[in-house]
Amino acid sequence: MAPDIATAAANINDAQAKASKRAFVTFLAGNGDYVKGVVGLVKGLRKVKTIYPLVVAVLPDVPQEHRNILTSQGCIVREIQPVYPPENQTQFAMAYYVINYSKLRIWAPTSFAEQDYLNMYFKDKYKPIPNIYNLVLAMLWRHPENVELEKVKVVHYCAAGSKPWRYTGVEENMEREDIKMLVKKWWDIYEDESLDYKEPVNANRLTSALLEAPGINFVPAPSAA
């Protein structure tokens, strides 16, 4: 039976329309090596075949070279302006936490609907997700009885020395075999060239190409009316 080209094209358009309204969002500041973490994230999202893009909210100090890397990997880069806390509340704060105030700007791109900042408003109506979707590494040695490592989907590499692109194994707990395994998994995704960004299929171009191919007949989809 000849392929239903019209239906295939419609399905592609439908998926692209859905993806245009929702997104994953992350934050990047400075000219350090955290850009590698974002690349690992977007490639990991492609590995699980998400249809939603990754929006990277960047501060003005993120260099153009890093922005180009993110764009080449299919990220949507959006510059945001810093948010500074009151000076009388920062004298004892680490610079990292001061920068975190700027994450409030993440909810500025209103073209993407989901705004988890509203969790405060819905505090009595939310449902917490299990740690398999946000495994904090310290759980491995503080509460191992609550971790089913083989089921974990999302890892938060937040323990000292655990960032895969900086990993040396010398910090406390970093010599553990489970940590080494999780770091290796990150590198496997980061270095997997098959997960590099490729131009999305354009439905109109796909239809034209299929119509021009020998031995393929156009079969119109039935009307939904």
| Domains delineated in the chain | 16-114 (3.90.550.10), 128-208 (no CATH)
Identify the residue whose tokens are 């655990």. 162
What pLDDT does residue 104 have? 80
The question of whether 184 is a catalytic residue gets the answer no
Pair 176, 164: CB distance under 8 Å: no
Longest dimension (CA), the chain: 74
Which of 36, 103, 163, 185 is an active site residue?
103
Q: What is the pTM of this model?
A: 0.74
The three-class DSSP label of residue 56 is: strand
Alpha-carbon distances, residue 8 vs 1, 3, 34, 147, 205 (angstroms): 14, 8, 39, 42, 12
Among residues 26, 35, 36, the alpha carbon closest in space to that of 76 is found at 26
What pLDDT does residue 71 have? 97
The list of the chain residues with pLDDT below 70 reads 1-20, 89-94, 108-123, 126, 200-225
What pLDDT does residue 1 have? 43
What pLDDT does residue 111 have? 64
What pLDDT does residue 116 have? 52
Write out pLDDT tens, residues 163-206: 999 999 999 999 999 999 999 999 999 999 999 998 765 555 55
